[in-house]
């Protein structure tokens, strides 16, 4: 069974063979590719004006899709570096986790939602974790 409805796929540039099959179902699925570095170990770098602006665009796109009832699927090469950074910032934006709880909460969500890769640390790097923790509620 698919997710039903329509979907917005937020996909960072990765080869198609590395994107797991996801039965989206529904009437339509749109894919939005965002150009962040392919290297999970270096993206995003410590917060700067450009990385903050790009993250806001990504989060706005996710919120717009959710506001109209679409499902959102976020993925990158390994599913934990850039993906974890985006999801962590989205959680902070909406006040779903306090600053001192967001990294642990993100890891728990990763473990609960991924039968095969839940053991992976998310986000991957200190810089990514710092980026999430620095993200403000409502930002």
pLDDT along the chain (139 residues), means of 10: 43 46 48 50 56 88 84 76 89 95 91 70 88 94
Q: List helix spans (H) across 20-138.
A: 49-67, 82-93, 102-113, 126-134
Looking at the domain assignment, is residue 12 inside a domain? Answer: yes
The SS3 of residue 1 is coil
Give the pLDDT score at 18.
43
Cα–Cα dist 71/65, whole Å: 7
How many domains, the chain?
1
Give the pLDDT score at 100.
95
Looking at the domain assignment, is residue 112 inside a domain? Answer: yes
Residue 33: give the domain boundaries: 6-134
Looking at the domain assignment, is residue 1 inside a domain? Answer: no
Give the pLDDT score at 137.
95
Give the pLDDT score at 81.
83
User: How far apart, in Å, are the Cα atoms of 63 and each of 14, 66, 69, 91?
Assistant: 23, 5, 10, 11
Looking at the domain assignment, is residue 139 inside a domain? Answer: no
Cα–Cα dist 30/8, whole Å: 5
Looking at the domain assignment, is residue 125 inside a domain? Answer: yes
Looking at the domain assignment, is residue 89 inside a domain? Answer: yes
Give the pLDDT score at 73.
78
This prediction's pTM: 0.72
Looking at the domain assignment, is residue 119 inside a domain? Answer: yes
Give the pLDDT score at 26.
45
Give the pLDDT score at 19.
43
Looking at the domain assignment, is residue 111 inside a domain? Answer: yes
| CATH code for the domain in which residue 88 is found | 3.90.190.10
């Amino acid at each position: 069974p698919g997710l039903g409805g329509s979907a917005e796929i937020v996909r960072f540039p990765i080869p198609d063979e590395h994107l797991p099959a996801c039965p989206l179902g529904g009437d339509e699925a749109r894919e939005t590719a965002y150009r962040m570095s392919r290297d999970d170990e270096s993206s995003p770098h410590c917060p700067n004006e450009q990385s903050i602006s790009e993250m806001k665009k990504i989060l706005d796109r996710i919120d717009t899709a959710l506001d109209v009832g679409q499902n959102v699927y976020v993925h990158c090469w390994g599913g934990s570096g850039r993906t974890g950074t985006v999801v962590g910032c989205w959680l902070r934006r909406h006040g779903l986790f306090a600053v001192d709880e967001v990294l642990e909460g993100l890891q728990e969500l990763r473990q609960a939602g991924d039968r095969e890769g839940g053991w992976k640390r998310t986000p991957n790097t200190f810089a990514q974790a710092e980026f999430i923790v620095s993200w403000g509620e409502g930002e």
